[in-house]
Structure 1
Amino acid sequence: MEQTLIIIKPDGVKRKLVGEILQRFERKQLTIRQLKVAMMTRELAEEHYAHVKKFDFFEDMMDYMTSSEVIYLVLEGEAVIKTVRTMIGATNCLEAAPGTIRGDYGNNSYHNIIHASDSPEAAQTEIQRFFGE
């Protein structure tokens, strides 16, 4: 069974959207295998977002991702990565379709409520990063 990592970002937690987001995943018959609430450290944020370090918004993103608690979860299901990526919508919320999580709740390109792994390889790396062995 395929797994993916989800991070409900600080804006999703602060705006009390966690239950709504989890409910959407459960309605799709996806299984929550692991879940924890934690502050993302600067070190973890830099590692996770290393691919955008060259952009001007990197420091703002680091401040945002370490500003309050996030929810980490591992979801499991058939084709879970594809299913979740469809459910969350485009990275830039302004381009995300209504009915997707980002389309319904996001604010901008990185204050976009949620992160989800984009491939099986990324999922494995990210699950290890945030949950360990």
Structure 2
Amino acid sequence: MSETERTFVMVKPDGVQRGLIGKIISRFEERGLKLVGAKFIQIDQDLAEDHYGEHEDKPFFDDLVEFITADPVMAMVWEGQDATRQVRSMVGETDPAESPPGSIRGDFGLDLGRNVIHASDHEDPGANEREIDLFFDEDELVEWERVDETWLYE
């Protein structure tokens, strides 16, 4: 049995503008993941630079920062067994053209620079915790039990 963990997800400005927040939340809920934190925010320059810090030396860094600060985002924390890997599987590839139908990017994304959603990288140990800490204080995350949890996991 996999370990229960929390992971960070963000509906980016293009997903917000296109009215996809509800559809995206529904997909994670239907999968059995539990929402433990959410906030609709306007990301400022400092937070954007911290969030994309790993790309600071890349030529597309300024475009990333400009895009993510252009309009509000929906920042969320989801919880479940192997949540980071589960979410990344549901999100699809970074390039929507390489994402299979049924994935969030495969269904809603058309362009690499406008791919609707961000999710913590399951191949980068600790990425989920770093990103959660950037966007949420501990007291903004809620401990609770879904009524169907006993039916989700052995």
Question: Counterpart of 1:107 in structure 2: which amino acid?
Answer: L
Tell me which structure has the larger Cα radius of gyration.
Answer: 2
Match of 2:110 among 77, 88, 107: 107
| Runs of 4 or more consecutive aligned structure 1 residues displaced over 3 Å after TM superposition | none
Unaligned regions of 5+ residues in structure 2, if any?
139-154
Question: Counterpart of 1:110 in structure 2: which amino acid?
Answer: G
Structure 1 residue 106: Cα displacement: 1.3
Unaligned regions of 5+ residues in structure 1, if any?
none
TM-score, length basis structure 1: 0.94
Q: Identity of paired residues, percent?
A: 41
C-alpha RMSD of the superposition: 1.2
Query: Which has the larger displacement, 67-76 or 102-111?
Result: 102-111
Match of 1:20 among 7, 23, 26: 23
Corresponding residue SS for 1:37: strand
Does the C-alpha gap of structure 1 residues 41 and 108 become closer, same or farther in structure 2, counting only changes over 3 Å?
same
Question: Counterpart of 1:29 in structure 2: which amino acid?
Answer: G
* 1:49 matches 2:48: no
What is the distance in 2 between the residues matched to 1:33 and 1:101? 20
* 1:71 matches 2:94: no
- In the TM superposition, what whole-angstrom CA distance separates every residue of 1:11-63 from its partner, at most 9, and x where no partner exists? 00000000000000011011000000000111111111111222222222111
Match of 1:116 among 115, 119, 127: 119
